[in-house]
Amino acid sequence: MLTCPICLQALSAVDNGVACPANHRFDRARQGYLNLLPVQHKNSRDPGDNAAMVEARRRFLDGGHYAPLAKRLAELAAGYAPARWLDIGCGEGYYTTQIADALPRAEGYALDISREAIKRGCKRAPQLEWLVASMARVPLSDASCQLLASVFSPLDWQEARRLLAPGGGLLRMGPTRDHLLELRGKLYDQVRDYDDQKHLELIPPGMQLAHSETLTFNLQLTSNEARADLLAMTPHGWRASAERRAAVIAEPLEVTVAIRYDWIEKL
């Protein structure tokens, strides 16, 4: 299943880590994860979300604000009943863990480029294989997964197609044009619209959209910490001015949560 990120040969368990026939070796960290991101594949010294961003997301999600989103994601994943699955861009593992709970008999993998995120994910669901790795070079073999989960995460469509077994699918969860509309209205003079279906134009040959649905609800953010954490875990935390961010944090806020789920099958 696991493949070497350097030579692409199969990895096997050795001592406290894994190695390939070419003797490229990767030790398992004390937290339990494998770091399969060689230095030559990094775009920076410490890529991905930093500790502050990861902690903000952890606090917000553990506060239950997006619990209905995770519940529906897990229900959908359970309905497809994969034998093996991967969460691509798993972050600190909030959604990953709920998928794992819904698929107790399946073999699960979780991948993110952020070491800080993976460190925290290991604590949530130690039964999974947690990987620090690039989403553009996923260290898993061809056609090895029946389900890929992509939650608020960028995606390499060619990698997704390579990883999926025929009949398997990508379960994508992402925002619609109405998501956090009130927050965006407070942060920017002009709220930029976008096409909810634009990502469908990127689906490669050999894959097709088989199911789509939207979940919408209103969310009351009554605490300063929740509003600050929401800003910190979205691009708005650095795009908007400091003055407007401070104004959002200072006052209670009701926002629309509007998320789209797509199941995109490999033919």
Whole-angstrom distance between the N-terminal and C-terminal Cα of the chain?
Answer: 21
Query: Tokens 């077994």 correspond to what residue?
Result: 165
Is the Cβ–Cβ distance between 151 and 95 less than 8 Å?
Answer: yes
Give the per-residue SS3 of 174-186. EECCCCCHHHHHH
Largest separation between any pair of C-alpha atoms in the chain? 59
265 among annotated binding-site residues = no
32 among annotated binding-site residues = no
Q: Pairing between strand 207-221 and 129-132? A: unpaired
4 among annotated binding-site residues = yes
93 among annotated binding-site residues = yes
Q: Residue type at 183?
A: L
Among candidate residues 130, 141, 180, 174, the one with its CA nearest the CA of residue 155: 174
24 among annotated binding-site residues = yes
Query: What residue numbers does the annotated binding site for Zn(2+) cover?
Result: 4, 7, 20, 24
Query: What residue numbers does the annotated binding site for S-adenosyl-L-methionine cover?
Result: 66, 92-93, 179
Query: What residue numbers does the annotated binding site cover?
Result: 4, 7, 20, 24, 66, 92-93, 179
